[in-house]
Amino acid sequence: MEKTQLQPKIVFDCFAEVNKIPRPSNKEEKMMAYLMDFGHKLGLETLQDETGNVLIRKPATPGYENLETTVVQSHMDMVCEKVAGLDFDFENDAIQTYVDGDWMKAKGTTLGADDGIGVAMQMALLADDSIEHGPIECLFTRAEETSLGGASGIKPGFMTGKYLLNLDSEDEGEIFISCAGGANTQAFFDVKKEAAPAGSFFFKVEVQGLVGGHSGDDIEKKRANANKLLARVLYKYLDYGVRLVDIQSGGLHNAIPRDGYAICCVPVEYKEQVRADLNVLAAEFEQEYFVTEPNMRLEMSSQPEQAQVIDQSSGDRLIKALVGVPNGVFAMSQDIPDFVETSSNLASVRLNGNVIRISTMQRSNLTSKRLNACAIVRSVFELAGARTETNTGYPGWFLNPKSPLLQIAVDAYERLFGKKPVVRAIHAGLECGLFSENYPDMDMVSFGPTLRGVHSPDEKLLIPTVQMVWDHLQEVLRNIPAKK
């Protein structure tokens, strides 16, 4: 399939425009300016709040003026991840997309369909005057991927709609009505540098090629965490008095880490033993993850002699804390089958100067369970001598099975496709949770086309599902209730 044949054409044309515009989280100024200009050129009321969110209002199609106002919402920022060694500047370069069968992918980077395809659908709604709908407000939020800062900054009254359609879900045929809340816990190890022991063998241990993924929606898929694997290797090397020189592992706070490395040294007499142990560990890891991590690599390379190493006490405590801190699923839901209730992700471990900073993320649909998960993670690091802090986080979006909008969305889907959609919750943060704080009476659902590998360079969009969601979105808008 050629790009020019993609359907719906107006949506994919808009998506192509979106991917020309750099839009890293917290650096969305170019996207904000583009959307403001887009709305003004269409002659539509276009607003921006003090947080940077953009809202474009479009009047009803003739004959639909009596319908309640509906907000259609997505976030303008994207996760910026690339394959190792790729020369790509997310602040200036356009995403390069290509078609592979039924999938759209990007060349070595995240695709940005999370949530650029939602932005594209909103732009298409605004630009196409043939679509039937009541009054709509297209809301484009910022900083969703890092802090949900855009959604948290929206004040009462900026939106006026009674209903909200969030276009930030990743499984066509599923309608989401609840999401997890989340918080970030960080640990800081203050380390000392000292002269490297004489007679040392210096080497680099690398974990590469993991699948990674979204730390919420993919956390139950039994994928390996690069930080945890690296910690297991380093823990084995404690037997030989390993000393750390550097550690740089993992990436974004909301991504399962795909790769990482540590530079270390051991007394030269253990040179062959550490290599042999790495081969044993590589075989063990392969056996443990032969289904989920077919491209996993565990490698060692000799390094030049280093002048300084991290003091023994700090290095040992760090390694033991990384081994000990819980990671993955903490608890499954008691009332929703096969649904993750509480989890934690060990996201990154990075030395900068004399501080090793560790980033983790805890999620739960229950605030009390999330707070407890944060306490568990902090306790492990504090016992190892680290300083810790947990941010205020963001709330979950609580289940409303009697939602009128949900029934409209379900009925619309059945009419279009002759089957029932799946109604479910998601173990990831959606901005609906924050909207519900300042707009407690707003009725919301979330749906979107099928995405895989989000938050990683493997991100891909299932092309046929875009047409399905586009049709579903229009059918829902046609059937919004009239004002009372």
Domain ranges of the chain: 3-180+396-478, 193-340
For residue 201, CA distances in Å to 5, 39, 312, 327 come to 57, 62, 16, 32
Domain 3-180+396-478 adopts which CATH fold?
Aminopeptidase (3.40.630)
Locate tokens 């997310």: which residue? Answer: 90
Stated pTM of the model = 0.74
Of 365, 435, 325, 323, the C-alpha closest to 71 is 435
Provide CB contacts within 8 A for 23, sequence distance 6+: 30, 31, 76, 77, 78, 112, 116
What CATH code would you report for 193-340?
Answer: 3.30.70.360
Provide CB contacts within 8 A for 388, sequence distance 6+: 185, 186, 187, 188, 377, 378, 381, 382
Structure tokens at 32: 């904000």
For residue 336, CA distances in Å to 179, 340, 370, 371 come to 12, 9, 17, 21
Confidence at residue 13, expressed as pLDDT on a 0 to 100 scale: 97
**Beta pairing, strands 45-48 & 54-58:** antiparallel
Structure tokens at 185: 């816990």
Of 169, 19, 42, 178, the C-alpha closest to 473 is 169
Helix (H, G, I), strand (E, B) or coil at 361: strand
Residue type, 283: A
Confidence at residue 294, expressed as pLDDT on a 0 to 100 scale: 96
Confidence at residue 1, expressed as pLDDT on a 0 to 100 scale: 59
Structure tokens at 168: 């930030």
Residue type, 336: I
Confidence at residue 29, expressed as pLDDT on a 0 to 100 scale: 97
Q: How far apart are CA 294 and CA 134, in angstroms?
A: 49
Q: CA 443, 453, 108: angle at the middle one, nearest 5?
A: 130
Would you name the residues annotated as active-site residues?
A: 77, 144
Helix (H, G, I), strand (E, B) or coil at 37: helix
Q: How far apart are CA 396 and CA 405, in angstroms?
A: 19
Helix (H, G, I), strand (E, B) or coil at 373: helix
Provide CB contacts within 8 A for 385, sequence distance 6+: 189, 314, 317
**Beta pairing, strands 163-166 & 443-446:** parallel
Asked if 95 and 185 touch (Cβ cutoff 8 Å), the reply is no
Computed on alpha carbons and rounded to an integer, the radius of gyration of the chain in Å comes to 24
What are the pLDDT tens digits along the chain (484 aa)?
566 689 999 999 999 999 999 999 999 999 999 999 999 999 999 999 999 999 999 999 999 999 999 999 999 999 999 998 999 999 999 999 999 999 999 999 999 999 999 999 999 999 999 999 999 999 999 999 888 899 999 999 999 999 999 999 999 999 999 888 999 999 999 999 999 999 999 999 999 999 998 898 899 999 999 999 999 999 999 999 999 999 999 988 888 999 999 999 999 999 999 999 999 999 999 999 999 999 999 999 999 999 999 999 999 999 999 999 999 999 998 877 888 999 999 999 999 999 999 999 999 988 899 999 999 999 999 999 999 999 988 888 877 767 999 999 999 999 999 999 999 888 887 899 889 888 989 999 999 999 998 888 999 999 999 999 999 999 999 999 999 8
Of 190, 318, 321, the C-alpha closest to 243 is 318
* Residue 290 CB-density burial (10 A; 0-12 exposed, 13-18 middle, 19+ buried): exposed
Domains 3-180+396-478 and 193-340 share a fold: no
Using the CB atoms, write b or e for 117-128: b if 16+ within 10 Å. Answer: bbbbbbbbbbbe
Asked if 251 and 336 touch (Cβ cutoff 8 Å), the reply is no
